[in-house]
Amino acid sequence: MKEKLTKYLHYTFFSFPVQLLLLHARKHVLLLFFWVILFAIALQSFGVNYGIPLLLLDPEYVGKVGFISFLIVGFTLGGFYMAWNMSSYLLSNFRFEFLASSDSPFVQYCLNNSIIPIAFTITYIVELIKFQRSEMLLAAAPIAINILALLLGILLNILFTGLVFVLLNQDVEIFVEKIIYRIKNSFINKIINIEKLEINRHDCEQWPVRIYLRFPFKVSFVRKVDFYNKELVDKVLYQYDRSTFMFQILILITLIVLGKLMDITYFRMPAISAILLIFSIAIIFFSFFTYWLDEWRLVTVVVLVLFLNSLTKFDLVVYKHHLYGLNYKTEKLKYNNETVRDAVNDKMIQSDIENTTQILENWHSKMANKYGDAKPKIIFINAAGGGLKSAYWSFYLLQELEKQTNKKLFDHTFLMTGASGGMLGAAYFRELYYEQKQQKSVDYLDSSYLKDMGKDILNSVATSIATNDIFYPWQNYTYQSMHYKKDRGYMFDKQFNENTNYRLSKLITDYKKPEQTAEIPMMILSPTIINDQRFLLFSPQDISYLVRPYVQSSIGSIDRLSTDAVEYNRFFKDKGAANTNFVDALRTNATYPYILPVVYLPTNPEIKAMDAGIRDNTGIAIAARFYNVFKNWVENNTSGAIFISLRVADKFGEFNQTKKPTLISETLSPTENIYTNFQLLQNYNDDISLAFLQNSSKTPLDVLNFNYFQPNVQNKASMSLHLTNGEKQTIVSAFSQKSNQQMVDRLKALLH
């Protein structure tokens, strides 16, 4: 019995599947790294706050989650499986010469190399069933259909890849032979000596294997191939190398084609499929460098990276996203402390104050005509950032608050500020409100418009990253007779416009007149200039009084306070600022790092603009600055101000250390805590600003915080450009929480 057990363990350990696992762990750790990421995503242990696991568990395609979306995910997952197998085969087949004696060496290799893919598929399906039962509340039948679609997609890709391999072996063998011949006779071979590398590969010690799986699932003993001609063994093993290289080229061509077709809705794949494509390409490139360069791969990669980095100085490799409408062809504007300071003067500030005061007077007349001569409350709405959930939350809140106040909320609202997704929802609500006032057939409180805010944007952005931005960033886009490059920023604009029926596809200046006549509230966007942390202020109105903290006594002494903002319309007037699309400005205000491209402006040195949340995620800083300028008018003409803050997180954090810290966690703690508590720090600063205003105001200043806060963290919506139906439900339900209802009651009382 003991001998049988020992023999069984021996053959198990030296089986081909087990030895392949050990080989990958020893030789190709990077190949395993991608699997670690995928397992972490499936088990909801990676990128939870950003909703990455939901992309795998609840994939959306053309606005729906179902058979087609899971079929596409399955197909790209099957592609990743095959990329993994192809890369592994390229790097390892020479260590297992016994494969030459089998019927189909590559097929047998894939079968024995399938432990990890099968384990992941099972894990994925188990987590998918748990998620769709508990979170999506789906019955057994639709869950089964989704799983069937997933498995069918994997199978279709495997069959497709097999077919391509057969065709490639028949059609391109001579073509590949010519390429290899030319490479071997080129100057590259003089440096690397490819033929010698191949000989070294064959001279490597064979990896110990006793048994292996044969298709279809038969266990066979390894046959010796010593009696075979060496050249014959090499030919058998390497016949699939040629097909693999051609298949890799085919994948790249496919990605480029998809990039060309990304304007068409049906070619925008689920976001997780785009991630799987990126992983597949990364594996392919890794195998390419390792196969051809072997020991030189690390040095080559380092040299290549340094070379490409040097080219970026000349904009030859890295494409810089330009703001559509601006002229980048003429001489760049100088950008320094002096030019920023000189862009504004006392006369300009006074003129802009007078113009905005007139808007306030127009608003006051509107209120008097509608509500009588009693002094009204003036409202400042601050919509915090936080991805698509903040867009959904802010829009839903504005609809509900408008209903709860009998449509008084937006009449009383004079100014809207904020960041990221919060301003997407606020801008859409304002536009619908404006259209209804223009006697258009629009009910701005209809729930169908909330659905628009919940539509996916991430798929388009991810597809652009995977197909266009990485491999083919040279597509042009014409706007205002000027040419720009298509990228994920362009796709964000396009998808958001499609989701909102192009209602916001206007110039910023199109809102100048309706704001001046107080038909709609003023809106100020404030993305951050990351070069020096200044505000970049977008508004159809002239607002030079906001470029630095306003103190009446500072007029005439411009150096007393720092100019910490740039007025976009004025600074870039000669560059075509008036042609800037409103959605472009909204996207600049919501440019989260890496997900959306940094916006470069035509200055020297180049201004780089990103998300407003970097400096003012709530919008309160800009609103407080505005209030400070017009405080005297507010005191004389209103019964007080109300700051309504629409937040996607609880205002105050909790210090709760439940786990004993490790050496690594203690080492990372200083920088980690700064990052995690960044928004909390902004909240503290906001409270300080509001406290100063409250203490110095002669009329009441009320602050109402509406928080999307879920005690159960697992059910909380993630900060992403994608929302599941379950996440939308949690956002809607948050409004009924006691703290938010108390704020509703306070608002109704204040506006009574």
Residue 52 clears pLDDT 50, i.e. is over it: yes
pLDDT of residue 67: 93
Each residue of 342-352: pLDDT tens digit? Answer: 899 889 999 99
pLDDT of residue 672: 52
Beta strands in 390-471 (DSSP E): 413-418
Q: Please state which of the ranges 96-100, 634-638, 694-698 shows the lowest mean pLDDT.
A: 96-100
C-alpha to C-alpha distances, 71 to 151, 269, 416, nearest whole angstrom? 8, 11, 43
227 CA to centre of own chain: 57
CB neighbourhood size of 8 (10 A): 10
Burial 471-499 (b: 16+ CB within 10 A, else e): bbbebeeebeebebbbbbbbbbbbbbeeb
Average pLDDT over residues 695-712: 84
Instruction: Give the whole-angstrom CA distance, residue 553 versus residue 117.
Output: 70
Which positions ≥6 away from 694 have C-beta within 8 Å? 701
Average pLDDT over residues 211-229: 70
Burial 53-80 (b: 16+ CB within 10 A, else e): bbbbbbbbbeeebebbbbbbbbbbbbbb
Residue 386 structure tokens: 């936080």
Burial of 1 per CB tally in 10 Å (0-12, 13-18, 19+): exposed
C-alpha to C-alpha distances, 535 to 347, 616, 641, nearest whole angstrom? 22, 9, 24
Residue 491 structure tokens: 């796709």
Q: Please state which of the ranges 289-293, 352-356, 532-536 shows the lowest mean pLDDT.
A: 289-293
pLDDT of residue 601: 95
pLDDT of residue 690: 81
Each residue of 424-462: pLDDT tens digit? Answer: 999 999 999 999 988 878 899 999 999 999 999 988 888
Q: Bigger pLDDT: 324 or 184?
A: 324
Band (743; pLDDT cuts 50, 70, 90): very high
Are the CB atoms for 509 and 556 separated by under 8 Å?
Answer: no
Residue 541 structure tokens: 């109105």
Residue 36 clears pLDDT 60, i.e. is over it: yes
Closest CA to 204 of 106, 91, 101, 99: 91
- Helices 678-696 + 620-629 axis angle, to 10: 20
Which positions ≥6 away from 285 have C-beta within 8 Å? none
Band (735; pLDDT cuts 50, 70, 90): very high
SS3 of 602-653: the string is: CEECCEEEECCHHHHCCCHHHHHHHHHHCHHHHHHHCCCEEEEEEECCCCCC
Name the amino acid, one letter, at 355.
Answer: N
pLDDT of residue 230: 55
Greatest CA span in the chain, whole angstroms?
105
Band (187; pLDDT cuts 50, 70, 90): very low
Instruction: Give the whole-angstrom CA distance, residue 306 versus residue 493.
Output: 33
pLDDT of residue 110: 86
pLDDT of residue 312: 67
Residue 179 clears pLDDT 60, i.e. is over it: no
Instruction: With H, G, I as helix, E, B as strand and everything else as coil, classify residue 61.
Output: strand
Q: Please state which of the ranges 338-352, 477-491, 589-603, 702-716 shows the lowest mean pLDDT.
A: 702-716
Name the amino acid, one letter, at 202.
Answer: H
> CA angle 410-414-420, nearest 5°?
85
CB neighbourhood size of 208 (10 A): 11
Each residue of 80-136: pLDDT tens digit? Answer: 998 888 888 878 877 777 776 677 778 888 888 989 999 999 999 999 999 888 877
Handedness of CA 272, 278, 282, 283 (dihedral sign): positive
* Cross-strand bridge partners of residue 643: 380, 703
Residue 112 structure tokens: 């024995």
Residue 730 clears pLDDT 80, i.e. is over it: yes
Instruction: Give the whole-angstrom CA distance, residue 694 versus residue 641.
Output: 10
Instruction: Give the whole-angstrom CA distance, residue 552 versus residue 631.
Output: 12
CB neighbourhood size of 380 (10 A): 27
Are the CB atoms for 421 and 391 separated by under 8 Å?
Answer: yes
Is the peptide bond prior to 605 cis by the omega test (within 30 degrees of 0)? yes
C-alpha to C-alpha distances, 191 to 77, 177, 204, 684, nearest whole angstrom? 38, 21, 22, 61
Query: What is the DSSP secondary-structure string of 338-398?
Result: HHHHHT--HHHHHHHHHHHHHHHHHHHHHHHHHH-SSPPPEEEEEE---HHHHHHHHHHHH
Q: State the residue for tokens 């093993």.
A: 237
Beta strands in 658-732 (DSSP E): 701-707
- Beta strand 218-221 with 565-567 is unpaired
Average pLDDT over residues 295-311: 73
Average pLDDT over residues 624-638: 94
Residue 333 structure tokens: 């504007």
The winner for highest mean pLDDT among 205-219, 518-532, 546-560 is 518-532
pLDDT of residue 650: 63
CB neighbourhood size of 177 (10 A): 11
Residue 170 clears pLDDT 60, i.e. is over it: no
Each residue of 313-346: pLDDT tens digit? Answer: 666 566 788 999 899 999 999 999 999 998 998 8
Each residue of 534-561: pLDDT tens digit? Answer: 999 999 999 999 998 877 655 544 455 6
Residue 391 clears pLDDT 90, i.e. is over it: yes
pLDDT of residue 198: 46
Backbone torsion region of residue 141, taken as left when φ is above 0, otherwise alpha when ψ lies between -120 and 50, otherwise beta = alpha
Instruction: Give the whole-angstrom CA distance, residue 328 versus residue 484.
Output: 10
Instruction: Give the whole-angstrom CA distance, residue 64 versus residue 451.
Output: 13
Average pLDDT over residues 664-675: 54
Are the CB atoms for 586 and 549 separated by under 8 Å?
Answer: no
Calculate the average pLDDT of the chain: 83
Are the CB atoms for 425 and 453 separated by under 8 Å?
Answer: yes
Each residue of 68-80: pLDDT tens digit? Answer: 999 999 999 999 9
Are the CB atoms for 20 and 112 separated by under 8 Å?
Answer: yes
Q: Bigger pLDDT: 324 or 474?
A: 324
Instruction: With H, G, I as helix, E, B as strand and everything else as coil, classify residue 278.
Output: helix
Of all residues in the chain, what percent are helix, strand and coil, respectively (each to 5)? 60, 10, 30
Residue 648 clears pLDDT 70, i.e. is over it: yes
Q: Bigger pLDDT: 170 or 507?
A: 507
Residue 71 structure tokens: 């079929």
